[in-house]
Amino acid sequence: MDIKNVLSVISGILFAAAYIPYIRTILNGKTKPAKASWIIWASLDAIIIAGMMAENSVNYQIICAFLGSSAVATLSLKYGIPGWSVLDKACFIGAILGIILWGTFNNPLFGIIISLGVMFVGSVPTFVSVWKDPSHEDRFAWTLFWLSCVVAIPAIPHWTVANAAQPLTFFAIETVMMYILFIKSPVR
């Protein structure tokens, strides 16, 4: 096993591990996941993983992201922040657009790229929620998500869109969360 594969496995383990405290804080009522973001993320993770499978570029981080986001999306139906804004609906339509473009042009890169762009925009409801009240999110879990992304970058096997777009987009999303949680709202 080469070092990039080892780093991919470590990245996946860290991403999966982040869901443990996150789900625990949801069940304890401390974390209030933004329902729209998590449903969008789970849907987009499904499209991204399918596109990456078609491009033979699946990594362990996206596998764990899909499994974890699906679990949190399910929990958010009961424990999350309710409602769908215009932005939430637009993001969901963007995910559908990615699928349509993939099918129309028979190119899974369309599904990957559109879904990742929509995923970043779909993160905005969570960014706004955390900006307003950072106590709704678990800092330890988000730190593990971010560390997974830090490890995923050197694990990129080839610097192609199919291999690099997902880890780089995840890194950008998690870095924004780290900024909001630790710089904008330092621990008091």
Distance separating alpha carbons of residues 154 and 2, to the nearest angstrom = 12
State whether the Cα torsion 24-26-31-36 is positive or negative.
positive
Distance CA 67, CA 178 (A): 22
- 25 three-state secondary structure: helix
* 3-class secondary-structure state, position 21: helix
pTM for this prediction: 0.86
Q: What tokens appear for 88 in the block?
A: 């939430």
User: How many domains does the chain contain in total?
Assistant: 1
Residue 179 has a pLDDT of 95
- pLDDT for the residue numbered 181: 93
pLDDT for res 73: 94
- The answer to whether 9 and 59 have CB atoms below 8 angstroms apart is no
Residue 165 sits at the vertex; the CA angle it makes with 161 and 170, to the nearest 5 degrees, is: 175
Task: Classify residue 184 by its DSSP letter.
Answer: I
- 22, 148 Cβ separation under 8 angstroms: no
pLDDT for the residue numbered 69: 95
Tokens of 44: 């987009």
Mean pLDDT by runs of 10 across the 188 residues of the chain is: 92 96 92 82 89 93 96 94 79 78 83 86 81 85 95 96 95 96 75
pLDDT of residue 109: 87
Look up the domain containing 85 and give its range: 3-184
Q: Would you state the pLDDT for residue 68? A: 97
User: Six-digit token pair at 133?
Assistant: 């009240």
DSSP code string of 88-123:
HHHHHHHHHHHHHHHHHHT-HHHHHHHHHHHHHHHT
